[in-house]
Amino acid sequence: MKDWKMWAPLQTKKQREVADNLSPTEKEEATNLAVVGGIKSALFAISCTLAIYFLYEYIPLSSNIRLLLCLSLFILGYLFFSKFVGLPIRNRQKSLLNNSKYARERGITV
């Protein structure tokens, strides 16, 4: 691994090879994409956590029903996060790797 900034936990060998050979401008674009993704993830997590906290604390229901409601909201929030934040970022990252100069020259598709 040439650059630890381009490492990802579930990265395939092809993705690692392309990521190791990105040009400086492509690395900068990937870094910016990661920063935007991190900010979106943090904002989404904070807003979901606050919403669940306030619902749990201030809804006058029995504790079992409140717990089930909060658990369902957590699962629903995770699904929305995956669909509207996680997958688009992942697709843009794959697109960035596929459209890199190194991948185009060698015909690599990740």
The domain segmentation of the chain, as residue ranges, is: 30-106
What distance in Å separates the CA atoms of residue 48 and residue 56, rounded to the nearest whole number? Answer: 12
Residue 76 has pLDDT above 80, yes or no: yes
What distance in Å separates the CA atoms of residue 5 and residue 31, rounded to the nearest whole number? Answer: 8
Amino acid present at 105:
E
- DSSP 3-state percent helix, strand, coil across the chain (nearest 5): 80, 0, 20
pLDDT of res. 103: 92
Residue 3 has pLDDT above 70, yes or no: no
Torsion region of 82: left, alpha or beta (phi above 0 gives left; psi -120 to 50 gives alpha): alpha
What distance in Å separates the CA atoms of residue 41 and residue 19, rounded to the nearest whole number? Answer: 22
- pTM score: 0.74
pLDDT of res. 100: 92
Tens digits of residue pLDDT in 45-75: 898 888 888 887 887 878 788 888 888 888 9
What distance in Å separates the CA atoms of residue 106 and residue 100, rounded to the nearest whole number? Answer: 10
Amino acid present at 100:
S
Residue 102 has pLDDT above 80, yes or no: yes
Q: What is the mean pLDDT of the chain?
A: 86
